[in-house]
Each structure stands twice: as C-alpha cells, then as structure tokens.
Structure 1
C-alpha cells in the first residue's frame, strides 16, 4: 500500500500486515473448532484453526426483501417436514444463491448452505473473508480455512452431525468423491436427494423475482442496441461484444446500485461461428452479408436474462432470407402457444409442424426454450421446464420461459449459417406476457452502415 493511500485513509505510514490480520481475526472471529486462539498464542501451523466466524462489516442490502427470502425458506421447510428431512446441505451455486442471496465463486473450493428447521447458515472458504456473511441475507456464516485438508466437511459435521435421520443434498451436483466425504462427515445420517424437488420449487417465480427478471430483460435490450451501434464491416466480434457488455454492466450499476456486478457477458457469432448457440466470441472480423447472432446476457445477482437475434450486415441473400423468415414464423407461433395448461411437449410438436412445412426441421439443433431464474451458463438449469418433445411439464402462472427456435444450415449449402430469435415470456392466468421488446426479423435487422 502506498504512503499516499495510507494517509488518505488515516493509516499509519508503516504497519504490519501480519499484525493487522491477527488482531482483526481475534477480535471479530469466534473459533468454532477444537483449536481456539488466544491473544497470547504464537502464530504456528500446528494451532491454526479449522473453522472460524467472520462477521466483517454490516449485512448487505440484499437483492430481495426479507419476506421474499423467508418465504423461500418456509416453502423448503415444508418440503423437509413432509419428507422427514432433518437438515439440508445445498452445494450448487443456484440453490445456495436462491436460498441465501450469496453467489459464491467456487474456484476449486466447496461451498454450502445448511438449512434446518431453525437455522440457515452458509459455509464458505476463508479466501472470501467476510463477504459470504454479508451476503447470506437470512442467516449466519461459517468459514473454513485451508490450514488442514477437507475443513469444509468438518464444518458440515459441526452443523449437521447431530442429526441421525435424513439429510438432503443435491445428487445432481455432488460427484462420487464428494458423496463419500459427506457420508464420512455425517456417519449417522442417510443422504437423500433434494435437487429435483427444489428445482420444482424454483420453477414458480414470485412477484419480486418476475420484477427482477423483467428488469434484466430491459437491460438485455440495451445490450442489443449497443451491438447494432458497434456492428460494422471489419470490426472484430470481440470488440462488438465488449461494447455491449459495458453498456449492460453500466445500466445494471445505474438501476441497481447495491447489486453485485458479476458474470454479465455477450456473444457475437458471425459467419460460420453462428452455427452453434453457445459458440464463444472470437476476433473474427464481421463482413458484409454475414449472418450474425447477437447474444446479450445481463447477470443480476445470479439471475440470467437473454436477448438473442439474427442480424445481417448490409444485405441478405435470397436463400438466407427464406430461412430467416421461416425461423421468425416458428418464433411467433411459439410465443402465441405459451399459456397456462399446455404441456411443454405440445408446444414443441406444434412448432415442429412449421419447420416441416418449410422442409428445414432436420436443421433444428436444440429445444425451443427453457426456464429462467437463478441460472447462468455454468449453473442452474431447470430441466423440467424445457420446451422439448420429451417434457411433460404443464405450464402454470408465474413460470418464466423463453421461446428460441434455431436452425443451422452447414457450410456450403445455400443460406448457410445459424438463425435464432429469443424472447422471454411470463406465464399469466390468461396467457403470457412478453418482456423482451427488441425488434426481430428482416424488417428491422438488416443493418446498413
């Protein structure tokens, strides 16, 4: 730390970082293991603690109201009571975030959230210090250190080891190694799956969640405007993506000043790079006549929203125009089908008939849409709410889904490239409300500069 910085913040011109850390640790931490520090203890590897408490600063404002967070825990506890589950250990990013508002960064270390009938507590790595406590909106926090191996599981034992019945965990998230370690940490308990049941709870969004997702959709539209602004011949995909991401992050900071700014991103896929929905950004320079797919993803406190559009720079060939118009027709039909009472597979079958009419069904590459909520490209998929032929789920009010048909024609064929349109819809009592307002189709997105 420079001398100027020390003086600015009222710190002495010379201070021992080791002494600062030691004093702060002793003053603000309750050691929750057999190793307990005292003021007189020397620093030595043999007496470094396994588990500590760090309540550094004040609790964060939080993304949602106390009533919202308490309501989520209450519904979970009802499921636990009905299934005779004494405690739950969440380990996935999505469930930890959904039930606590803490969005963890794994980076090779395990994290967890313990929920019992009288406790909510996150378990986090010491590398994050007091941040997990500040952002565990409705509970406490326990920190494990790196000084000994598998201290995370010692924390699990401390918080859940007294129970001798069922302990819920997420079978779809923990691998075999973690499962064995949980069994060793909880030898008197039976591990049961809560991953699927909690997925169904998350699929029905509250009014606060819907408002949050709606704001994300608005910001995604701003990202789309930035893409069009930056799209020019000879400009790299990465430059366009950077411009759009900056616009979205700045808008999130402006409209939600207390929110964490993490994971917002943009994909621009041009030419052959448009063939896959999740193809990463490259430095390829956009050329006139290219099909480009814009993908704008503002992330707000772990919640994903998206805007995806097919765009052509300067002009579009007759073959490409035919495919593009057909995909827009499927897109419009899909949005009209979203309503309570219809099954996901019924929507998919109806949309298939339009592709069949245009003889391009065999170019379809994935399902027609999915659920929204606590979700990103690396966590949170609510698999039971996919718009696909094998999904029996019936749409209900307050579900939030996308309609995003895509076809890809391989290189060398007329109209080659990927075509995708994407809107987010909130299921209502009577039908659905479209919360994506960015225009789509040839009338709007042949960009001439």
Structure 2
C-alpha cells in the first residue's frame, strides 16, 4: 500500500491571486501582532477563527467541519488548510500554506506542531477553540505557557487602516445600490423572497464591477414585512406584501469578508398616525445618536444618553438590543468585535479610525397601535473631530412611504 503523507504543499496556479489589500497592509498587520508576541514573550500564535486567519493572511476559509489555522511566528506566517481546498488557500493569501490530509486523524495538529515546535509559549484564540480542540492543542503542542490572544487581535482589528476604510466605503455604496433595487421591486403582492433576490443580485453585480479580481460569496438581504419586522435578524419568507404594511429593508454586501449594512424602515401605501409617531421618534433617536459619535465618547456613555432620550418619550421599553457595533472583517457567521458595541456594559472610548453603526430599533407588539419593528442604520467612521457618515440612502417618511 502506498504511504500517504500527513501533509504537503500544493502551491497550484502559478501565481498568487489579487488580495483585498496590498501586501504592505498584511505586513503591517503581522508586525502589529508580532509586537504583541514580543510584549508577552510568545514563540508562536495559532489563529483559528475565520476573522483572524483572513485578517492576517488574506485567506477566508470555509470550514465545513474541518479545522483551519494561520500560524504566526517571529519569522513565518503559514496557513494550514484541508486538501479539499487544493491550491486556493495559497493563491488567496500573503503567506505560505501547508495542506493537511484526512488520511489519519489529527494531521491538522501534527502540521501545527511541526511549525511551532513543542514546549513553547503559545498564543491562541480561547473564544474560538472548542474544548476538544483546546485539549488537542495542549496534547500536540505541549506548550510551556499559553495565552488568550483574542482580546489583543480584536483591539487591532477595531482600529481600521485607510485601506480598510476605503473598502468599507465601497461596501456602503454597494448597499445603497441594493437599497434602490429593493425599492424598485416593492409592490402589492410581491413577496419578501423575490424582493430580497432583486437586492442581492444588484449588490453582487455591483461588487463584481468594483472588484473584478475578488472572490464573491455571502452577500445577502433580509427584507421583512408586517409582523416579520419585529426582529432585526428575522429570515426572509414568502409573505406577499399588503397595503399599509410596515417594511424593513436590510442589505448586507460582503466584499472579501468585509461586511457592511444598510437598514431602513418603509411603508407600503399608507402609514397610519400611530406608526408615523413611532417611526419619527426612532428617526429622532437615530439622528441624536449619530451626533454623539465622536472621539472621546464612550460606548456606554452614548448608550446612556440614548436610553434617556427614549425614556423621556416612554419608548425605552420597546428597545430590544444595543444601538450599534463595529464594522470590518466580520459577518453573521464570524468576527464580532464585541469591544466596540453601543451597550451599557462596554466602556470603550471612540477613537479616530474606528468604524461603527448607529442603529436604534423599536419593536411595538402586535395588537398595539403602530405595531411592527422600526430600524434605521448608518455606518460612520470616527474622525479627528467628529464622524463621517458613509451611508447615503435616504431615511424617513419623505422617501420611504411607497405608493
């Protein structure tokens, strides 16, 4: 029987693909990570989350039940991928790549141990490793000391480079394109599904036009109507639109792992007085919230001011989640930057270069006047003296009551 290898290098395709950023961007990110390694005396870092593997190497993996990693040492950056991906992980990364085989269980960990060595000081992502994989890391690497690197990498990702902000601006522009396509598709009898398809298709084509050398995946739309607007993340259904429906437009273009969003409240045909009152109150909270986003403001401080604003109007009890969050290399599948969310328990102070949304939502239960979910959403980049709004699609009844 032929002896099959535990791993191999399959650098197929002749040349590297075009990554989302220039090589210098990835070198700067790795230099920042190596500064953290030096500060804490780490010999190697084993990154296993989609967001960090992509952030430091450029390669956005698809797990499908298999483990992946990016191993960073003082001199090397190596992605570790499964054979099912062939040469794509090497083509789509700044780094070296080693493919592990499925022929023997735990070849993944053997490859990592071969890079890091055993008995070393190892950084890992404690918030991503399952108990089983943490045990295997300890068994195969036998680290003399471990450290959770997740908080430090999140801090690095929260502060965007100029190149990242430029990509996020493209994403916001693409989301606007999707919003206008959805607006055109809205009509009596149209279904949430068909309207969502129109928005998604328009965004994917726009991404391909702006980034002809990219990979395309994961762009999506949640278009909700009537009672289905009550949750921010409710999936699309086949419900047909009726006159007087409250609508929620949610566009999410994905560009090389970078997620942006556009969210707007609309009405079809009529907006009754009770609904208009709630809608205008939420818009007022949205505008007030955007005015609070500036360097030196804290996430918890902004949240407290918005809570007071809604409490004065007897609406705070209808708020269901935080007022905004970070944007960047993240998605509904991965990458939450929990340290930059507008919530009561987050004290992070806003700094220039951070990108954050303002997205107040009020949900009025069925059976009450104005029932439905009201949400507006803009993405802003913090500047030296304030914030720039990257979202341009109009909000409010002047544009979003459709006849």
Equivalent positions of 1:46-445 (< 5 A) are 47-57=3-13, 58-137=15-94, 139-162=95-118, 164-445=119-400
User: Where in structure 2 are there 5+ consecutive unaligned residues?
Assistant: none
Deviations 1:77-124 (A, max 9, x none): 001000101100100000001001101001100000000100000000
Whole-angstrom distance in 1 between the partners of 2:362 and 2:109: 46
TM-score normalised per structure 2: 0.98
Counterpart of 1:315 in 2: which secondary structure?
Answer: coil
Please tell me whether the aligned partners of residues 161 and 185 of structure 1 are also in contact (alpha carbons under 8 angstroms). Answer: no
Q: CA deviation at 1:434?
A: 0.4
Whether contact under 8 Å (2:122, 2:143) holds in the other structure is no
What is the deviation of 1:157?
1.1
Partner secondary structure for residue 397 of structure 2: coil
CA displacement at 1:188 relative to structure 2 = 4.0
Shift of 1:160: 1.1
Paired residue total: 402
Query: How far apart are the structure 1 equivalents of 2:64 and 2:186?
Result: 34
Render the CA deviation track for 1:100-150: whole Å, top value 9, x for unaligned: 11010011000000001000000000000000000112x100001111112
Question: How big is the shift at 1:344?
Answer: 0.6
Q: Is the 8 A contact 1:343 1:394 kept in 2?
A: yes
Runs of at least 4 residues of structure 1 off by over 2 A? 188-191
8 A Cα contact 1:304 1:375, kept in partner = yes
Q: Deviations over 1:368-387 (max 9, x none)?
A: 00001101001010001001
Q: Between Structure 1 and Structure 2, whose CA radius of gyration is higher?
A: 1
Cα offset, 1:190, TM superposition: 2.4
Pairwise CA RMSD of aligned residues? 0.9
Q: Deviations over 1:397-417 (max 9, x none)?
A: 000000000010111111111
C-alpha contact 1:268 1:293 (8 A) present in aligned 2: yes
Q: Which runs of 5+ in 1 are unaligned?
A: 1-43
How far apart are residue 420 of structure 1 and its match?
0.3
Deviation at 1:189, TM superposition (A): 3.4
1:286 CA drift (Å): 1.3
Q: Is the 8 A contact 1:183 1:191 kept in 2?
A: no
Any conservation in 1 of the 2:121–2:143 contact (CA below 8 Å)?
A: no
C-alpha offsets along residues 172-229 of structure 1, whole Å, 9 cap, x if unaligned?
A: 0011011001111101432210011110011000000000000100000001001101
